[in-house]
Structure 1
Amino acid sequence: MHTCPLCEAADVAHYHQDARRDYFQCQQCSLIFADPDKRLDPAMEKEVYDQHENNSEDLGYRRFLSRVATPLLDKLPAESLKGLDFGSGPGPTLSVMMSEAGHQVAIYDPYFAPDRSVLAQTYDFITCTEAIEHFYTPYQEWQQLLGMLKPGGWLGIMTKLALDYDAFARWHYKNDPTHVSFFSQATFSYLAERDGLDVEFVGNDVILLRKPQ
């Protein structure tokens, strides 16, 4: 039987099945996750990511990312801060936008910016946009993110949130084979309470979390 890949609870129930794979839900943190036995191997996963054509000059992509950049920048003081874009993808853009706002931003991506030295540093803010749903081991990545965040720092996440069962059953978001971990407001509320974080939900897919001082 599976254990939850986020909170490691053993209380996991079968949630849904489609033509591609099964999905399970943790009864403790509410994370929904795809059958680990149906994951893509790294080469196949990268093939999917290579099809993305995002770049920092794409105004539409910038508008999309502004949904997290704007409310995050509103939380940050005006002076230059040190940030990290975790899961920056093949065309880093949010890091450029935050740099244009006066901050110093490093990037990390296991496929496209794999310099792990940036993971040994600490940051005033961390962004993770359209990446957390790809995490095979979200427990490890979550602990890593919190470990890199300075006290008082902000974590800005963008991911589509799971709603109820009927919405999930017809949800196109789950059909991407690289999407394996599906969060909800309940999941982030659980993590915030467990880890002593302030949490704020912005719109339908942006979550801002603040680490205590």
Structure 2
Amino acid sequence: MMATCPLCASAETAFYHRDARRDYRHCRRCDLVFVPPVFRLSPAEERAVYDQHENSPDDLGYRRFLGRLFDPLRERLAPGARGLDFGAGPGPTLSVMFEEAGHPMAIYDPFYAPDAGVLEEEYDFITATEVAEHLFAPGEVLARLAGRLRPGGWLGLMTKRTTTREAFARWHYILDPTHVGFFSEASFQWLAESLGMSVEFPAADVVLLQKPAAGSREGGLSENIADRVPCCR
């Protein structure tokens, strides 16, 4: 079964793993491991899984979990920096944490907060926690988000990363049927280069990408790509 990589659009993909439910392919260009479209859930099936989530700002354990992204990103933000939490889910919490820290926030979620108007505005930072692995078109979506950043802005992502093929076969992360894309550190390095952004890895499941400041010779690619693509799943 051939399938084009949903991150870099390369046709150079190969079989990687098979379990009882689906196949997984590997991209030789950007190192993404992904589930071919034939194995994806329908929107209704996806929504049924997400409706089972019980995340809430009142859950201190969930706040600690989100702190892995919140803490390093907050350290890099100017006072009053404005953000967007993309893929906020049924119980937006990270946005509440940033608002408590003095950062005005917008939220977007295709199922629970589908106001696409917020995706046309510009932000000092954008977060997407436990979102990248759900995206059907991660290359398009992440480029679009990068294009909504002001110069010097940050894109903060939280998703577990692949390591070895042997570990992948035993990985609990692939058991969630809504997880369809699995990034390695090399995948994010490819993404950063393609968008003209810098990249940092402050934790095993956290990635921070920064858009160049105004006047820099870098970064034009991110705006050009983002202007060409829709924001979609």
TM-score by length of 2: 0.90
Q: Partner of 2:31 in structure 1?
A: 30
Identity of aligned residues (%): 59
Partner of 2:16: 15
- Paired residue type of 2:178: T
Q: Secondary structure at the match of 1:194?
A: helix
In the alignment, which residue of structure 2 is the partner of 1:134? 134
In 2, distance between residues paired with 1:35 and 1:191?
Answer: 20
Which string of whole-angstrom CA distances, capped at 9 and with x for unpartnered residues, describes residues 146-190 of structure 1?
111111000110000011100000001011000000001010011
C-alpha separation between the residues in 1 aligned to 2:150 and 2:177? 34
* CA-CA distance at 1:139 after TM superposition: 1.8
Partner of 2:6: 5
Structure 2 unaligned spans of 5+:
214-233
Give the aligned residue type for 2:27: C
The aligned residue for residue 121 of structure 1 is 121
**Distance in 1, Cα, partners of 2:42 & 2:196:** 35
SS at match of 2:89: coil
* Structure-1 residue corresponding to 2:80: 80
**Residue 46 (structure 1) aligns with:** 47
Partner of 1:55: 56
Q: CA deviation at 1:62?
A: 0.4
Counterpart of 2:195 in structure 1 is 195
Structure 2 CA distance for aligned equivalents of residues 118 and 34 of structure 1 = 29
The 8 Å contact of residues 143 and 195 in structure 2, kept in 1 or not, is answered as no
Q: Within 2, Cα distance between the matches of 1:17 and 1:35?
A: 11
* Runs of 4+, deviation exceeding 6 Å: none
Deviations 1:101-158 (A, max 9, x none): 1011000000000011100101000000001100011122012111111110001100
Shift in Å, 1:35? 2.1
Deviations 1:194-213 (A, max 9, x none): 22211110121001110111
Q: Distance in 1 between matches of 2:151 and 2:52?
A: 37
Aligned residues: 212
Alignment-mate amino acid for residue 62 of structure 2:
Y
Deviations 1:76-114 (A, max 9, x none): 12x211100000000000000000110110000000000
Which whole-Å CA distance do the structure 2 matches of 1:31 and 1:140 have between them? 14
Query: Residue 15 of structure 2: SS of its match in structure 1?
Result: strand
Matches of 2:36 and 2:11, distance apart in 1: 15
In structure 1, list runs of 5 or more residues that go unmatched: none
Q: What are the superposed Cα offsets for residues 33-74 of structure 1, whole Å, 9 maximum, x if unpaired? A: 012101110111000000000001110000000110000000
Q: Secondary structure at the match of 1:166?
A: helix
Considering only aligned residues, what root-mean-square deviation do their CA atoms show, in Å? 0.7
